[in-house]
Amino acid sequence: MKLRELANFIRIVEIGSLSRAAAALNIAQPALGLQVRSLETEFKKQLLVRHSRGVYPTEAGKILLDHAREMLEELEKSRRKIAELDAHSGHVRVGMTSSANALLLADLYRLCRERHPTIRLDIVEGNSGRLARMIQIGEIELGCLYNDAGETLKNELVLNDEWVFISSPHNASHGEEIRFEAIESLPLVLPSRSSGLRLRVEQEARARGISLNVVLEVHSGTLMQRLIEQGIGHTILPKIEARESIASGRLHAARILDPQFASRTYISHRETPPLGPSALAVKALLMEVAVSKRGDDEGSQAEP
């Protein structure tokens, strides 16, 4: 039994499909299937049940999944502690939403190279819910999330912003303001249903008896803005994320009235075990970059 087989088994269960897991891991599906059979031979139990929509773990598979996660997490803790014997060295894994990535990553990388050249950043992009779960199980040390992750994590608010209705200047017949009810008749390009922004907008729509006309789901904030520039529908984004395109005239932003949507960006991490020196150094840089962005935009103010 190899550690890589355990790590790949975890990914198969998380994804729920052998073929999709093989693609994500960049491994041929037959080779991945052989790894599963090797584990089943090792434990003398069937670990996965295959069905038309994918796979799910047996009871034995669930037990192995829990212990494999614990084992790999403990091994990773050992690696981090050994790497941190030399303070401010090693690699730090940071999770960012696509919006935070576009806003903060370039400056974070520049500062990290200038001040801590022996730290290597490992950036994971995802929605806030997925990143919070990754922090909780120790897959990443830090996260830039749109919503705080509750009592299980330490969350520090770094940016306050307003969501605005984004259109191509040629499609902005609604002017500088738009009521939420008026959005119902317009084609929308929104992120997936797992994103905090999408959930919040749909929640408000249901409360008002409105059906959203979502014509396209896009997981990248940058790609979403490009599509809107080309006139493919409208979207809702934090103003600070689209401010460069708005300032240049490539996009038009309208305030959403009744209700107004607030966007809050948090830096999140686990309280125990405490962050090591390298992760603490990256956290400090993240906060510095976020504060600089807040200062650049009068519409983005942190809570007192």
Q: Which residue did the predictor score with more confidence, 262 or 179?
A: 179
Q: Which two structure tokens, joined as six digits, stand for 128?
A: 């806030």
Do 46 and 132 share a domain, yes or no?
no
Do 20 and 96 share a domain, yes or no?
no
The DSSP string of 202-252 is HHHHHHTTPPPEEEEE-S-HHHHHHHHHTTS-BEEEETTTSHHHHHTTSSE
Closest CA relative to residue 108, chosen from 252, 292, 298? 292
In whole angstroms, what separates CA 259 from the centre of its chain?
25
- CATH number of the domain enclosing 59: 1.10.10.10
Do 93 and 8 share a domain, yes or no?
no
pLDDT of residue 298: 43
Q: What is the CA angle 277-282-285, rounded to 5?
A: 130
Q: Is the pLDDT of residue 102 over 80?
A: no
- CATH number of the domain enclosing 141: 3.40.190.290
Q: Which two structure tokens, joined as six digits, stand for 110?
A: 């520049």
pLDDT of residue 267: 93
Place of tokens 């199980």: 137
Summarize the confidence of residues 17-23 as an average pLDDT: 92
C-alpha 137/C-alpha 186 separation (Å) is 40
Question: Could you say which of 20, 52, 81 is where a domain stops?
Answer: 81
Is 183 exposed, middle or buried, given 0-12, 13-18 or 19+ CB atoms closer than 10 A?
buried
Q: Which residue did the predictor score with more confidence, 102 or 36?
A: 36
**In sequence order, what are the beta bridge partners of 187?**
213
Question: In this structure, how many other beta carbons lie within 10 angstroms of the beta carbon of residue 192?
Answer: 12
Supply the angle between the helices 29-43 and 3-15 in degrees, to the nearest 10. 110
Q: Give 30-74 pLDDT, tens digit per residue.
A: 999 999 999 999 999 999 999 888 999 999 999 999 999 999 988
Do 69 and 147 share a domain, yes or no?
no
Q: Give 197-224 pLDDT, tens digit per residue.
A: 788 889 899 998 989 999 999 877 778 8
Do 161 and 30 share a domain, yes or no?
no
Residue 217: give the domain boundaries. 86-304
Do 76 and 102 share a domain, yes or no?
no
Q: Which amino acid is at 267?
A: I
Share of the chain above pLDDT 90, in %: 49
Q: Give 226-261 pLDDT, tens digit per residue.
A: 999 999 999 998 887 788 889 899 999 999 988 878
C-alpha 292/C-alpha 290 separation (Å) is 5
C-alpha 304/C-alpha 291 separation (Å) is 13
Supply the angle between the helices 29-43 and 59-83 in degrees, to the nearest 10. 100
pLDDT of residue 60: 95
Into how many domains does the chain fold? 2
Asked if residues 159 and 293 have their Cβ atoms less than 8 Å apart, the reply is yes
Reported pTM:
0.55
Do 41 and 115 share a domain, yes or no?
no
